[in-house]
Structure 1
Amino acid sequence: MARVDPYKNYRFLMEIDGIVQAGFSECSGFGSEVEIVEYREGGDDATVRKLRGKASYPDISLKWGITDSRELYDWHLAAVNGKVERKNGSIILLDDTGQEKVR
Structure 2
Amino acid sequence: MVSTEEAVAVCFVVKLDDQNLGAFSSCDGLGCEFVMEQREEGGNNGMVWQLPTRLKYSNVKLSRPVTKDSAKITQWFASMAGGIKRKTATIEARTLEGTVIASWSLEGAVPVRWSGPQLSAESPKVAMETLELAHHGFLSPGK
Normalised by the size of structure 2, how large is the TM-score?
Answer: 0.53
- 1:22-74: CA deviation from partner (whole Å, max 9, x where unpaired): 11111111222222212245xx4306322102322221111115454844432
Query: Aligned residues: percent identity?
Result: 23
SS at match of 1:74: helix
Structure 1, unaligned stretches of length 5 or more? Answer: 1-8
- 1:9-28: CA deviation from partner (whole Å, max 9, x where unpaired): 96110011134221111111
Bigger relative CO (Cα 8 Å, ≥ 6 apart): 1
Whose strand proportion is higher, 1 or 2?
2
Query: Between Structure 1 and Structure 2, whose CA radius of gyration is higher?
Result: 1
Q: Which contiguous aligned blocks of 4+ residues in structure 1 show a shift greater than 6 angstroms?
A: none
Counterpart of 1:45?
43
For the 8 Å contact 1:12–1:26, the answer to whether it is kept is: yes
For the 8 Å contact 2:31–2:57, the answer to whether it is kept is: yes
Normalised by the size of structure 1, how large is the TM-score?
Answer: 0.71
1:100 and 2:112 correspond: no
1:76 and 2:77 correspond: yes
Structure 1: distance between partners of 2:23 and 2:100: 13
Q: What is the deviation of 1:82?
A: 4.6
Counterpart of 1:85?
85
1:12 and 2:51 correspond: no
For the 8 Å contact 1:21–1:67, the answer to whether it is kept is: no
For the 8 Å contact 1:13–1:24, the answer to whether it is kept is: yes
Structure 1: distance between partners of 2:43 and 2:82: 51
Aligned partner letter, 2:79: A
Structure 1: distance between partners of 2:57 and 2:71: 28
Question: When the two structures are aligned, how many residues end up with a matched partner?
Answer: 92
Root-mean-square deviation (Å): 2.5
Structure 2, unaligned stretches of length 5 or more? Answer: 1-8, 104-143
SS at match of 2:30: coil
